[in-house]
Structure formats: C-alpha cells, structure tokens
Amino acid sequence: MDLSYGEAYEAFRQQVRRFLEEHRHEAPPAGLGLGELRDPRLRRWQQLLVEHGYVGRTIPREYGGYGARPDPLETIIIEEEFERAGVSRGLAASQGISMLVPTLLEHGSEEQKRTWIPPTLRGEVIWCQGYSEPGAGSDLASVQTTAVDDGDDFVINGQKIWTSTAQYADMMFALVRTEPQAPKHAGLSYLLIPMRTPGIEVRPLRTMTGLAEFNEVFFTNVRVPKRNVVGRRGEGWKVGNTTLRHERNLLGSASYSERLWRHLLALMQQETVDGRRGP
C-alpha cells in the first residue's frame, strides 16, 4: 500500500517550505499569548499568510480570502510544515477566523460577509464567543440573556461567562433569547455585538495559574442593531451549531494535538519523582 501523498502534493510541500525559509524571519514568536493579539508583528504576518494562501485559503477572494479550491491534503501539509518549522500560524486558530468566518459564509447576509470577513482574516477585528452563561453551559439552549425588540434595535440584558479573549475583543458573536414565549431551542438568535457598546462590562476571571484567560461579560441595556442578526431571527440554535461544528474541527486538528503532545513531553522532562528527572 502506497501511503505517500504523491508528486503533486510533495511539490506543494516544497512550496510551503520555501515560503517558510524565505519569510520566517518576519514571523512573530510562535508562543504569543492572548495579550499579544494586537501585536503589530502578528498583524503584518497575518496579512502575509492570507496573501500567500496559508490562512483563509479557501475563502473566496471577494471576501478577502485566497480563493483556492478546498483540498484536505493541502490543509494537512500546511499544518505539518508550519508545525515542523515551529513558525506561527498567525491568527488561523482564532475564534473569528476558525469559527465565525465559516458561519458567516454559510448563514450570513451579503452585507455581513463583506463587512466582517475581510478585516477578520487580516487580524484587524478580534472576536470572542458569547455562548455559556452561569445557568447555561452544557445545556446551551437554556440561555437567558435577553434581546428585547425596540424599533431598529435589540436591547440586551444578561450575562455570559468563560468568555475567552473578551477583554481584547472588538466584537462578540453571541446567542441571545429574542423569542421568550417560544420553546427554548426555538427562541434564540445569533447576534454580532460590538464590544465597545455602552452597557457592556468585562470582568476577567483569574485562575489558579494567575492568568485571566476567561471573563464574565455583563450586558445592561445594550443596544445592537437588528441587522446584526446572522440568519433568521429565532434560528440561532441552527446557526450556533454551525459555529460549534467548526470549533470541534479546530480542536480535533492533527497539528493542535501534536502541539499539545510536545508541550506535555517538555513538561514531563522538567518534572521529578523522588528527586529524579524522567528520561
């Protein structure tokens, strides 16, 4: 059985390697934390990756992507080579690019696609995910944050929790309850919320590591235009599950698993048992 990728894919692998050899000096450190999401080096690198098709590879050109045809093997090769070289993938794994962009491509209006996808791919707009609430974690359909109809806007009140990157984000994609009389799965809408809107308060949650990787987000009479609903009003459960599908794809990627494995090995090599360090 021949398990090689074949000549065409190996030629593509060499193309990726040449790019990395020629440009790796322009890349930011691969381990930049959440606090460096706005680092100018990261943004410049992100734009170079988009230009060469290593981020947003299959996103249509009219929305700021590279416009390549979908090819799972090319995707795997890109991940393998960046991982092998220890070079930053930019913001490829960010919530905006990995989760929101494909959701907008499937459910968003033309205006929403043209407004939000290009700057998200370029790293100019940072997103966070507003799903979990104190009473709605594993039972996500129990979301109680309300969005009340008021003319051209919704008025939002409620709370989100465990919100990664909220303290750095420009925008949030969130599930809110717009139809309080409907069954819980049918009463949600998927809404794009500017994080600088008056009435939003972000409180970092500091963990035992000393870091604040998560946040609580409180909404008090926050006004958001109705045009920011993705898909149809009341169909947020369907749209939200599209986002979750892409989130699971991200967590299941081979490069992500390989990176965690390497970090685990490095940690184990530093630890000791009875004063002795492992092999």
Q: What is the set of active-site residues?
A: 247
> 196: Cβ–Cβ under 8 A, 6 or more apart, which residues?
170
**Which amino acid type is present at position 60?**
P
| Of 91, 96, 92, residue with least CA distance to 171 | 96
- C-alpha separations of 181 from 94, 129, 160, 178, 188 in Å: 35, 25, 21, 9, 11
Separation between Cα atoms, residue 192 and residue 190, nearest integer Å: 7
Residue 172 corresponds to which amino acid?
A: M
**Which of these, 157, 194, 151, lies nearest to 176 by C-alpha position?**
157
Distances (CA, A) of 236 to 10, 169, 174, 227, 278: 42, 21, 9, 14, 50
The β-bridge relationship of strands 214-225 and 229-230 is unpaired
Q: Which of 191, 165, 31 is nearest to 98 (CA)?
A: 165
Strand pairing of 127-130 and 171-177? parallel
Query: What are the structure tokens assigned to 120, written together?
Result: 């998200």
